[in-house]
Amino acid sequence: MAQASHTRHEQWSSGLVFILAATGSAVGLGNLWRFPYLVGENGGGAFVLIYLACIVLVGFPIMMAEVMIGRRGRQSPINTLRRVALEEGLSSGWQLVGWLGVAAGFLILSFYSVVGGWALYYALQALVGSFSGISSEGAGAMFRGLVSSPVPVVFWHTVFMLILFGIVVAGVRRGLQRAVTILMPLLFALLILLVLYGMTTGAFGQTLHFMFAPDFSAIDGRTVLTAMGQAFFTLSLGMGAIMVYGAYLPSSEHIPRATGWIVGMDTLTAIIAGLAIFPIVFSAGMAPGAGPGLVFETLPVVFGTIPFGFLLGILFFVLLSVAAITSGISLLEPPVAYLIESTRLGRRGATGLLVGGIWLLGIAAGLSLNVWAGVRIVPGLDANIFGTLEFLANDLMLPLGGLFIALFAAWFMRSASVSEELDLLHHGPVYRLWRVATRFIAPAAVILVFLNATGLFG
Ligand code: TRP
């Protein structure tokens, strides 16, 4: 097993804390905000099915690879990849994959924080009673009112970044433990409650049909790319977030089992979020393809109607904010760890520098929803700055990072090192399955999806 002596970082106090922290990273806006609206935009069941296939065949094996590499290297993704590559007799150029990840994390956090700010704004709206008796038109107007106004969007983005700054400066472990052990289970319970409410709306059957009866005529190459990008995004894969958490994992922990828990809980949360939201969409006659506003335009209507809705609404949006914060932390931690290792900046300086840069980019993302809506930065891509960041980072950089991580773990590392770290008997069935998935299935899937999205297959 890897020795922990060559690291400057603290370790998790147990494997359970690792599982909770990684689940805190995985479960976030990706599950509750992004997954439902992508399902709605991409025609439902077929998208869900492709997404699930990507989770199992691509996400799961790559997550094992990330944790494994992280624990062996015990540093930030950049230095971990360099160290492990050198140990395995490979080129130190593998650290470029770490750089790609740091760049992706930077881009993602800039728009993630904007949406995290919406969650905070909605927590406040719940608190001051704005949802009481609100109609679906009213909720739609509330959301549009928010995103079309530059000042609140930038203000709440700033608040979100400041909260992240405070927690990451305090050290990941202290900042995270309570949030993930108490608040995440509470969020999960609340979602179940909303699903139960959904069953009373009369639109639950329609929801099941929409989410689980695949209609393949609704999809194309771009849809498959979106589904795979979402699989990476929701599992926090492809940029080293899980790798850096693996770097803090005690050597005694069984990686495949831990990974199973994380992937399982993340996927369950996404599905349950869908089952909570779509009954409201259908029973209120809203359009499932309403886009990024979907969660924010639906749930307030329910909280404005049901008994105890006032309290439940506050609780939900506070917990949504917490889920976004625990995910945001994991986007910030890899570059922070790198700057601490490689510069003379301490934790505070490193975090401050990064938060400042991400905050500025986030302002551009936030303004692109209103005053800069017409600005295009990538020729040929008809998307505002927000959408462009989302596309570049989620749909391209994460899968690309994941592809290299899979290739590194399965083709370049010595299989003796890998099976030792994964604690799987060399010829056992689980190990062989993982190896086939990481060697062939995951890389082939990523490459095919990329080729497909370029329109090569028509
Ligand atoms: N997985 C988180 C979510 O679903 C977002 C996230 C956190 C993330 N860390 C990441 C995405 C690293 C990609 C890479 O909300």
pLDDT single digits (tens) 340-399: 989 999 999 999 999 999 999 999 999 999 999 999 998 888 899 999 999 999 889 999
Q: What distance in angstroms lies between residue 321's CA and the mean position of ligand 1's atoms?
A: 14
Give dist(CA 224, CA 449) in Å, integer.
7
pTM of the full structure: 0.92
Query: Roughly how many angstroms between the first and final C-alpha of the chain, as a whole number?
Result: 48
Q: What distance in angstroms lies between residue 104's CA and the mean position of ligand 1's atoms?
A: 11
Q: What are phi and psi of 126, to 5 degrees?
A: -65, -40
Residue of 253 and 178 predicted with greater confidence? 253
Give dist(CA 21, CA 112) in Å, integer.
18
Query: Of ligand 1's atoms, which has the minimum distance to the CA of residue 331?
Result: 9
Give dist(CA 9, CA 338) in Å, integer.
11
What domains are there in the chain, each with its CATH number?
A: 15-453 (1.10.4160)
Give mean pLDDT, residues 131-137. Answer: 94
Tokens standing for 185? 């289970």
- The owner of tokens 């301490």 is 346
Q: Which residues line ligand 1 (CB under 6 A)?
A: 25-26, 28-31, 108, 233-234, 236, 239, 241, 327, 330-331, 398
Q: Is 241 exposed, middle or buried (0-12, 13-18, 19+ CB in 10 A)?
A: buried
Amino acid letter for position 378: V
Structure confidence by residue, pLDDT tens digits, 44-102: 999 999 999 999 999 999 999 999 999 999 999 999 999 999 999 999 999 999 999 99
